[in-house]
Structure 1
Amino acid sequence: MNHWKSTLAVIGIGQLISILTSTIVGFSIIFWISNEFKSPTALSLAILAGFLPQFVLGLFAGVYVDRWNRKKTMFYSDLFIAFCTLCLFIVITKGYKDL
């Protein structure tokens, strides 16, 4: 009976860390765009680019995601986010762009 509680705790903590770090990266990018371009239009477009895919895909993806394996869906979506964050990290550490 306690096995499902520990599994749920591990998944919950993993999702919390994933969402928290993704949010921090997103805010960092928005602050960088704000400081780099000093343009309300650029900032608005960055915020729109961040939220529009969630809104548009969220309307339709729920139907399909319910049919898929939930563990694999969570794993691959978090893996994709980690890959994108790693690419951003490499761009910053190689000196292509300062953040």
Structure 2
Amino acid sequence: MLPNTSNFITKDVNENSSIELHCPVTNSPDLSIQWSKNNEDLDPMWLSPNVVIKRLLLKIQQTHLNDAGLYKCNVVNGFGSIYAQFRVNII
């Protein structure tokens, strides 16, 4: 499980537009993936319909100012763990 890019990515996005965050690891069925925002785990069961998590992808369909923050995908498998962080700025 190796990252495809740097583990810290900054994204600037206009308010009311969409953004996709792709966790930069090679997908595999044995991966355990947890997304968080500002160190709080994101539970797909409790997210607004505006936010979609599909394994290595987190998509915000229409951004708002309160969507800004530090997002993190933490990926674990039998070989260890790796994470990527995304600083999202809403402009």
- Give the TM-score normalised by structure 2: 0.28
Larger radius of gyration: 1
TM-score, normalised relative to structure 1:
0.26
The structure with the greater share of residues assigned to strand is 2
Higher relative contact order (CA 8 A, sep 6+): 2
